[in-house]
Amino acid sequence: MIKPTRRQFLSTLAAGTLVAGCGNPESINKSKSLVSNIHQHTDKIFDVIIIGAGLSGLMAAMTLEENGYKVLVLEGRNRIGGRVYTLMDVPGKPEAAGEYIGANYARMINTIKKLGLDMYNPESNGIDRPWMYHINGQNIDAKSWESHALNPLEGEDRQLLPHRYLSRLSNRDNPLADKPLNAWLTKEMHQYDIPHDQYLRAKGLNEETIRLMNVVIHSGGIENTSAINELRRYHVMDWNSKMAFPDGKSWKMVRGGNSLLPIKMAESLDNEVLLNKTVVGFSDNGNQVDIQCADTSRYKAKQVVCSIPISVLRNVIFEPSIKGIQKEAIDQIDYGLSMQAHFLVKEAFWEKDGNDPNMWTDSPIERLGVRTKKHKDDPESCVVFVNGPESLKFRLMSDEQVFDYVEAELAKIRPSTKGTLERLMIQSCERDIHGAGDWVYWQPGQVKKFGNNMRHKHGNIHFCGEHTAIMERGMEGAFESGERAALDIIFNS
Ligand SMILES: Cc1cc2nc3c(=O)[nH]c(=O)nc-3n(C[C@H](O)[C@H](O)[C@H](O)COP(=O)(O)OP(=O)(O)OC[C@H]3O[C@@H](n4cnc5c(N)ncnc54)[C@H](O)[C@@H]3O)c2cc1C
């Protein structure tokens, strides 16, 4: 495999990837120029217009079209896929967002098969490698952790490795265990709609354990996250882990990159998905919805399916306006943030210092992970992955400043990385206007308040998206929600 030079990378990135926080449009979609698209279809009245070409919007579009509806999809970015985003221009084509497909992802697997795509088991040279830890300024290898003075747990729990604390300890005695996947929305669970740290303290966990659990929480911090959010997360993961593909594996990826799935879904539709169509407003007169885009074009449909992430909806005008509890949900629900700094590994720094390659830390850069290879010939690459409150600081930095910061912090905790890494790209789902963040999360009190009130249709506008899923989470949650919105139109409108 010939590694592209840094200059080749920068020229590819300048062509689209880094500038817009998006993939190279030529390589991932049959996009036309913005100019030629501006007035396409503006005179027609569609049965349904779908906003957003992520998995949920595309699932809604396919389901409706299969049932005889004339549909059009409008997408704000210059690429298909939303939070499914394979970095096609980066060596090894790493997944920068939706990555692992669980054996229970029935709708997603069905769509993959229907569209003639294939799944595969990635080479496990990243996730199966052990971690080394950097905690309170000390480097600790996994074997030493059980007896280490910094280990805050007691008895058999001392064997638990720090990167497992959040999932294992949150899931212990999970009140959702053995209940259906929608049980998190029931009244019985409202007693757990409290800050997760409070829930854990009541379970007897000490402050240092809770601090370490907070390192990789996918939200706005453990004290700002409802315990139900975490209990649901691990309940669904438990459900996933009970299933297996016929080869015994629990998780797979799409061969060639997960982005191929939304691209194929878009290609299967009668009408080409229109890109660069940022929707800024909806006017619904009761019979028809008029959709306004940032490029001044307008589209009309009898019904709309809107998959825009809920916090992005704060910037969209609805006529008539959304009021009451649904408006409060739009104004208050947030997404967990993350930042990924991708590097090519020019020299195996772990061979230089003799430590395990992957690092889990309580430092400002949280995790250094050597990427799982898709293929044995892929070059070695790694990612610094920061999420939760620690990623907020990167909102105040340019991409170059993020790289400078990450390299400086890495040099402090892992001097062997100096001079061994080549900068590739910074990726973050909230670093452009169409992305709210990684995954929606529920703050204390929000499940009780909004859990059953945020997916109601508003006039002729139906909502979907991972944030509205009832049973599943992540990519399968997106499929579930798109199917629900489509079926609502098919059966109730
Ligand atoms: C880092 C990361 C890792 C993940 N890992 C996994 C995993 O391993 N397994 C898993 O199952 N899930 C994972 N997920 C979650 C999963 O990717 C998402 O839940 C899912 O893809 C969301 O799909 P969606 O259709 O609901 O939203 P999106 O994909 O966000 O789709 C919404 C679309 O609307 C568009 N849009 C936004 N505003 C406008 C506007 N005003 N006008 C027009 N269009 C607009 C956006 O550009 C986007 O294309 C991960 C996510 C991230 C970020």
Mean pLDDT of 448-466: 95
CB 307 within 8 A of CB 464: yes
Query: What percent of the chain has a predicted confidence (pLDDT) above 90?
Result: 77
The closest residue, in CA terms, to atom 50 on ligand 1 is 98
What is the helix (H) or strand (E) element at residue 478, kind and residue range?
A: helix 474-492
Say what the pTM is.
0.91
Query: What percent of the chain has a predicted confidence (pLDDT) above 70?
Result: 90
Task: Sort strands 45-51 and 298-306 into parallel, antiparallel or unpaired.
Answer: parallel
394 pLDDT band, cuts 50/70/90, is: very high
| Per-residue pLDDT at 34 | 43
What DSSP character marks residue 320? S
Residues 6+ apart with CB under 8 A from 375: 92, 123
Residue 436 CA: which ligand 1 atom is closest?
30
The closest residue, in CA terms, to atom 53 on ligand 1 is 438
| Token digits of residue 123 | 């080479």
66, 72, 73, 78 alpha-carbon torsion, rounded to 10°? 130
Q: What is the pLDDT of residues 282-303, one digit of tens each?
A: 999 999 999 999 999 999 999 9
CB 300 within 8 A of CB 97: no
Q: What is the pLDDT of residues 395-428, one digit of tens each?
A: 999 999 999 999 999 999 999 999 999 999 999 9
Name the H helices within 220-379. 227-241, 260-267, 324-332, 349-353
Q: How many CB atoms lie within 10 A of CB 355?
A: 17
Instruction: Give residue 82 CA to ligand 1 midpoint distance, Å.
Output: 5
Mean pLDDT score across all residues of the chain = 89
What DSSP character marks residue 278? -
Instruction: Give residue 279 CA to ligand 1 midpoint distance, Å.
Output: 16
Q: Is the dihedral of CA 295, 65, 28, 337 positive or negative?
A: positive
Beta bridge partners of 421: 345
Of the candidates 54, 21, 28, the residue with the CA atom closest to the CA atom of residue 440: 54
Instruction: Give residue 416 CA to ligand 1 midpoint distance, Å.
Output: 35
9 pLDDT band, cuts 50/70/90, is: very low
Q: What is the DSSP string of 42-102?
A: TT-EEEEEEE--SHHHHHHHHHHHHTT--EEEE-SSSSS-TT--B-TTSTT--BSS---EE
| Per-residue pLDDT at 4 | 36
Quote the distance between the C-alpha of residue 72 and its chain's center. Answer: 24
Of the candidates 334, 279, 336, 313, the residue with the CA atom closest to the CA atom of residue 77: 279
Q: What is the pLDDT of residues 166-175, one digit of tens each?
A: 999 999 999 9
Residue with tokens 């800024």: 280
* Spatial distance between the Cα atoms of 348 and 416, rounded to a whole number of angstroms: 9
Fold of 21-121+255-333+440-492: FAD/NAD(P)-binding domain (3.50.50)
Q: What is the pLDDT of residues 194-216, one digit of tens each?
A: 999 999 999 999 999 999 999 98
pLDDT for residue 72 is more than 80: yes
Q: What is the pLDDT of residues 330-364, one digit of tens each?
A: 999 999 989 999 999 999 999 999 998 899 999 99
| Per-residue pLDDT at 145 | 97
Q: How many CB atoms lie within 10 A of CB 247?
A: 8
Residue ranges around ligand 1 (CB below 6 Å): 51-57, 74-77, 82-84, 97-100, 277-279, 307-309, 312, 316, 338, 429, 434, 438-439, 465-466, 474-478
Taking phi over 0 as left and psi of -120 to 50 as alpha, with beta for the rest, 388 belongs to left
| Per-residue pLDDT at 249 | 86
Long-range CB contacts for residues 8-17, cutoff 8 Å, separation at least 24: 9/89, 9/90, 9/424, 9/425, 12/89, 13/89, 13/425, 16/78, 17/87, 17/89, 17/425
Amino acid (one-letter) located at 255: R
CA distances from 293 to 81, 94, 280, 299, 438 (A): 19, 32, 5, 8, 24
Instruction: Give residue 183 CA to ligand 1 midpoint distance, Å.
Output: 24
Instruction: Give residue 455 CA to ligand 1 midpoint distance, Å.
Output: 17
Instruction: Give residue 54 CA to ligand 1 midpoint distance, Å.
Output: 6
Instruction: Give residue 84 CA to ligand 1 midpoint distance, Å.
Output: 6
Per-residue exposure over 147-172, b if at least 16 CB sit within 10 Å of its own CB, e if not: eeeebbbeeebeebebbebbbebbbe
Residue with tokens 């409802």: 226
Residue with tokens 């952790």: 145
* Spatial distance between the Cα atoms of 362 and 215, rounded to a whole number of angstroms: 6
The closest residue, in CA terms, to atom 1 on ligand 1 is 97
* Ligand 1 pocket test target in 83, 107, 312, 480 with most atoms within 8 Å of CB: 83
Q: What is the pLDDT of residues 242-256, one digit of tens each?
A: 888 999 888 899 999
| Per-residue pLDDT at 33 | 43
Instruction: Give residue 83 CA to ligand 1 midpoint distance, Å.
Output: 3
The closest residue, in CA terms, to atom 26 on ligand 1 is 465
| Per-residue pLDDT at 140 | 96
- CATH second-level architecture of 338-427? Alpha-Beta Complex (3.90)
Instruction: Give residue 19 CA to ligand 1 midpoint distance, Å.
Output: 19
Beta bridge partners of 281: 292, 317
Q: Is the peptide bond before 320 cis (omega within 30 degrees of 0)?
A: yes
Q: What is the pLDDT of residues 138-189, one digit of tens each?
A: 999 999 999 999 999 999 999 999 999 999 999 999 999 999 999 999 999 9
CB 278 within 8 A of CB 433: yes
Of the candidates 427, 413, 416, the residue with the CA atom closest to the CA atom of residue 371: 427
| Per-residue pLDDT at 196 | 98
Residue 100 CA: which ligand 1 atom is closest?
8
The closest residue, in CA terms, to atom 38 on ligand 1 is 434
**Domain residue extents for the chain:** 21-121+255-333+440-492, 152-241, 338-427
* Ligand 1 pocket test target in 233, 259, 432, 475 with most atoms within 8 Å of CB: 475
The closest residue, in CA terms, to atom 5 on ligand 1 is 98
Residue with tokens 């206007």: 433
Instruction: Give residue 128 CA to ligand 1 midpoint distance, Å.
Output: 26
Instruction: Give residue 360 CA to ligand 1 midpoint distance, Å.
Output: 26
Of the candidates 88, 89, 73, the residue with the CA atom closest to the CA atom of residue 31: 73
The closest residue, in CA terms, to atom 21 on ligand 1 is 83
380 pLDDT band, cuts 50/70/90, is: confident
| Per-residue pLDDT at 124 | 58
pLDDT for residue 29 is more than 60: no
47 pLDDT band, cuts 50/70/90, is: very high
